[in-house]
Amino acid sequence: MSNILNTMSIIETDQIDEKVQKIMRQTDYSQEIAIEKLKEHGFDEIATIKAYLGVPKKTSSQVKSINQEIYKQLRTKLDSSMRDYHGRVERGEVKKVV
């Protein structure tokens, strides 16, 4: 534990011990592996546990305005409708209008 103090002086030792114990409760890591993984993830216990569980990082695409969201949903709906229509045409399920 003294090596951790030399590399990271901002986090207190009792906080590190608490984080290591939390990681050990949520994973099957030993204390040494938990400390190593905690260092890899910048002493963030949540990120360490998520990495163990294989939870992917969220990629958020932020919409800049309500108008953009409306048109995005319209495009998505129209695209899916056209895909469905073209699929029905290929299968011959569409009736021809005379």
pLDDT in tens, 34-56: 999 999 999 999 999 999 999 98
Closest CA to 19 of 72, 41, 58: 41
Percent of the chain with pLDDT over 70: 86
pLDDT of residue 83: 94
Give the DSSP letter of residue 63. -
pTM score above 0.95 = no
Q: Which two tokens stand for residue 86?
A: 């073209």
Q: How far apart are CA 36 and CA 58, in angstroms?
A: 24
pLDDT of residue 95: 73
**Over the Cα atoms of the chain, what is R_g?**
26
pLDDT of residue 92: 85
Q: Which two tokens stand for residue 94?
A: 């569409």
pLDDT of residue 79: 96
pLDDT of residue 1: 52
- With a cut of 60, say whether residue 60 has pLDDT above it: yes
Q: Which residue has the higher pLDDT, 95 or 19?
A: 19
